[in-house]
Chains A and B, each alone.
Chain A
């Protein structure tokens, strides 16, 4: 029966000729915020060059994406193009044969080894996703509020807390907009944001992977200690404050500082009607080297079982081109292109974030590569630990000891 249908379909395609030889590619993604940008800017630009290929952007909710995608891939109903999470989530998909090897894509030459590292096998022999963008952590502040209160942008930790004290004393603004209800902000915009300054970026991250440092060592506990101090500067009832609550508090001008990821820029530009600025996580003493989390966050790969692999590869080559890089980086300020060709960005806030790449050392989130492979999952545990520390439900030392015990239970170099 299926064969008959296939045959019928085949004949009809042959008969219909080029007019109907149009392929439709479906993109799986967790970036549902970007739906309009893909539909209005990115896809039309591609389709204009390739009228025979139609692209559909079909995102699902960020928190559900991995689960939804895994089920769809297992059931064989996933789209042709898969937006790739960095490191193990995608590596596992590749190992299971769900993602195709893209190493020989011509566009891969446009990316540095660091950019590709998040979507490669451990030995670097195969690359299975085309890198799209990274996100940078830092703090976005309400520049009008800073001016009104006569505050200057803090560069050291002492200055940072002095600024927070002043905002709190004045009382007009909530010093910092963050809640612990959704947990991930505490880990991502908290721990991973300020942490690299303590563990010296890549140096500490790689030492942790090699087993030379432990999560109970000072550089890994100290960020928790700083997080514990944040508690006094968060809004009333921050325990039940969700991520969208925090975003709204800041864009409505009720909070002065927002621990951020650069992905917020587009949304904040649209929502906030005050001037915004950004500063990197403050360092210990003036003149110290600063470290930022410049996290390789998003890439796009090919579903190994896609019937439209040829068309999908055409699309992926385009995604790897400087043209896409410029289009994407400007349509979505805050998602910084990983393409080796420098991209001109017009958004001042995005320019500020990306300028830190020149003066600070870049690293990626410490929990993403290799360390979240086992059970318990270090990244998810870190969410919980960071939220607990901010709420004051767990001491920094106890949280770190718990994370270390969990990691050591399955990760050989840490035993």
Chain B
């Protein structure tokens, strides 16, 4: 008798811890939140099913929708700054680091990466101090080079506060794209580079024509990580500007808007139902963004086998 296929228990056993932890910590709360966004309180304070009424209120009632669109616009700007500043700088740094002739590469690599492992609280406070018009070293440093007149209380002005905070965040996280691209650059086989050199492609044109196409998939991954990270951001704004995301809500992003609504702030009581509706919208926005990337961009990226 031919032996029956044994039940492969080990697969279930090895999967179980991850599945259990992920389900209980991520999937159940996620669906719990999404479900909660369909409920609200009635006049007697009982929880009742209201369908999409919370979303109708969020997008239809000017009190809520103005705040929501403001937060979304600010969040988008926050993301744009990261894409335009953080990722190009990260790629450039990685390109420079991977030049074999650079001395002390390990030191630079570590120094640039260190801010990434700092807590948001530290980064927020340090930059608040640096930029403080009263105690900060920024006015003094600008004075040294005769540019004192350029100094402004950047974090306190509606026009500049969000961009300043986005740049602080760039400063903190530029190490991540740098490391990922650096690793991608190192994994390009020497034969490819040698072949390019044989054909007379060196220096910058080698970077543009050979290396960049080979690291495009990594850049794609970085973009999507940046997107998800930025649209879930909260900590830096909260530490630097507080939950009211001043001045005049100019630094309010979806995360701070969610926090204020869900948990309440000062005399404003928390509203878990509207908070869940905002959380659900954030989830939708991120989902759409990730899907656009996955189906619109990633499938078109050409991959190279070595």
**B242 contacts the other chain (CB 8 A):** yes
Question: Are B63 and A375 in contact (CB-based, < 8 A)?
Answer: yes
- How far apart are the CA atoms of A238 and B244 in the complex, in Å? 18
**A28 contacts the other chain (CB 8 A):** no
**A354 contacts the other chain (CB 8 A):** no
Name A367-389 residues within 8 Å CB distance of B. Answer: 367-368, 372, 375-377, 379-380, 383-384, 387-388
**B236 contacts the other chain (CB 8 A):** no
- The 3 A-B residue pairs with the shortest CB-CB distance, nearest first, are A237-B133, A239-B156, A240-B156
The listed residue (B132, B241, B259) touching A245 by CB distance below 8 A is: B132
Q: Which residue of B lies closest to A372 (CB)?
A: B267
Report the minimal beta-carbon distance from A58 to chain B, rounded to whole angstroms.
19
**A207 contacts the other chain (CB 8 A):** no
Q: Which residue of B lies closest to A96 (CB)?
A: B45
The listed residue (B135, B156, B267) touching A88 by CB distance below 8 A is: B267
**A236 contacts the other chain (CB 8 A):** yes
Question: Are A406 and B264 in contact (CB-based, < 8 A)?
Answer: no
**B243 contacts the other chain (CB 8 A):** yes
List 12 interface pairs A-B (beta carbons < 8 Å), by A numbering: A63-B242, A63-B243, A87-B267, A181-B247, A183-B246, A235-B133, A237-B156, A238-B153, A241-B132, A245-B134, A383-B266, A393-B247
Q: Which residue of B lies closest to A367 (CB)?
A: B267
Report the minimal beta-carbon distance from A193 to chain B, rounded to whole angstroms.
17
Q: Other than the known A180-B247, A409-B63, what 16 A-B pairs have Cβ atoms closer than 8 Å?
A: A88-B269, A96-B45, A179-B156, A181-B155, A181-B246, A183-B246, A239-B247, A240-B155, A241-B133, A377-B265, A377-B266, A379-B268, A383-B266, A388-B247, A391-B247, A394-B248
Considering residues A63, A240, A406, which has the most beta carbons from chain B within 10 angstroms of its beta carbon?
A240
**A265 contacts the other chain (CB 8 A):** no
- How far apart are the CA atoms of A393 and B157 in the complex, in Å? 10
Interface positions of A (Cβ within 8 A of B):
63, 66-67, 70-71, 85, 87-89, 92, 95-96, 179-184, 235-242, 245, 248-249, 367-368, 372, 375-377, 379-380, 383-384, 387-388, 391, 393-394, 406, 409
Considering residues B241, B243, B269, B271, which has the most beta carbons from chain A within 10 angstroms of its beta carbon?
B269
A249 with B156, Cβ < 8 A, contacts A70-B270, A182-B246, A183-B246 known: no
Contacts of A380 in B (CB 8 A): 244, 265-268
Report the minimal beta-carbon distance from A175 to chain B, rounded to whole angstroms.
15
Considering residues B152, B259, B268, which has the most beta carbons from chain A within 10 angstroms of its beta carbon?
B268
A240 with B248, Cβ < 8 A, contacts A67-B270, A180-B156, A380-B268 known: no
**B82 contacts the other chain (CB 8 A):** no
**B293 contacts the other chain (CB 8 A):** no
Report the minimal beta-carbon distance from A10 to chain B, rounded to whole angstroms.
32
Report the minimal beta-carbon distance from A342 to chain B, rounded to whole angstroms.
31
The listed residue (B131, B266, B268, B269) touching A240 by CB distance below 8 A is: B131
Question: Are B244 and A241 in contact (CB-based, < 8 A)?
Answer: no
Question: Are A67 and B263 in contact (CB-based, < 8 A)?
Answer: yes
Q: Which residue of B lies closest to A382 (CB)?
A: B267
The listed residue (A85, A379, A384, A406) touching B246 by CB distance below 8 A is: A384
The listed residue (B246, B247, B259, B267) touching A89 by CB distance below 8 A is: B267
Contacts of A367 in B (CB 8 A): 267
**B158 contacts the other chain (CB 8 A):** yes
Contacts of B243 in A (CB 8 A): 63
Report the minimal beta-carbon distance from B42 to chain A, rounded to whole angstroms.
14
Report the minimal beta-carbon distance from A392 to chain B, rounded to whole angstroms.
11
Question: Are A181 and B241 in contact (CB-based, < 8 A)?
Answer: yes
Report the minimal beta-carbon distance from A198 to chain B, rounded to whole angstroms.
22
**B77 contacts the other chain (CB 8 A):** no
Report the minimal beta-carbon distance from B143 to chain A, rounded to whole angstroms.
13
Question: Are A92 and B266 in contact (CB-based, < 8 A)?
Answer: no
Q: Which residue of B lies closest to A68 (CB)?
A: B263
Q: Mark B269-284, 1 if CB is under 8 A from A, else 0.
A: 1110000000000000
**B154 contacts the other chain (CB 8 A):** yes
Question: Are B247 and A66 in contact (CB-based, < 8 A)?
Answer: no
Question: Are B267 and A63 in contact (CB-based, < 8 A)?
Answer: no
Question: Are B63 and A376 in contact (CB-based, < 8 A)?
Answer: yes
Report the minimal beta-carbon distance from A151 to chain B, rounded to whole angstroms.
24
Report the minimal beta-carbon distance from A118 to chain B, rounded to whole angstroms.
12
Contacts of A242 in B (CB 8 A): 128
Question: Are B248 and A384 in contact (CB-based, < 8 A)?
Answer: yes
Contacts of A248 in B (CB 8 A): 134
Contacts of B271 in A (CB 8 A): 375
A92 with B269, Cβ < 8 A, contacts A71-B263, A409-B63 known: yes
Considering residues B241, B267, B269, which has the most beta carbons from chain A within 10 angstroms of its beta carbon?
B267
Contacts of B158 in A (CB 8 A): 393
Contacts of A240 in B (CB 8 A): 131-133, 153-157
Contacts of B134 in A (CB 8 A): 235-237, 241, 245, 248-249
Contacts of B246 in A (CB 8 A): 180-183, 384, 387
Report the minimal beta-carbon distance from B139 to chain A, rounded to whole angstroms.
8
Q: Which residue of A lies closest to B164 (CB)?
A: A240
Contacts of B269 in A (CB 8 A): 66, 70, 88-89, 92
- How far apart are the CA atoms of A406 and B62 in the complex, in Å? 11
A70 with B244, Cβ < 8 A, contacts A181-B156, A240-B155 known: no
Question: Are A66 and B265 in contact (CB-based, < 8 A)?
Answer: yes
- How far apart are the CA atoms of A66 and B243 in the complex, in Å? 12
Q: Which residue of A lies closest to B64 (CB)?
A: A375
**B249 contacts the other chain (CB 8 A):** yes
- How far apart are the CA atoms of A236 and B152 in the complex, in Å? 9
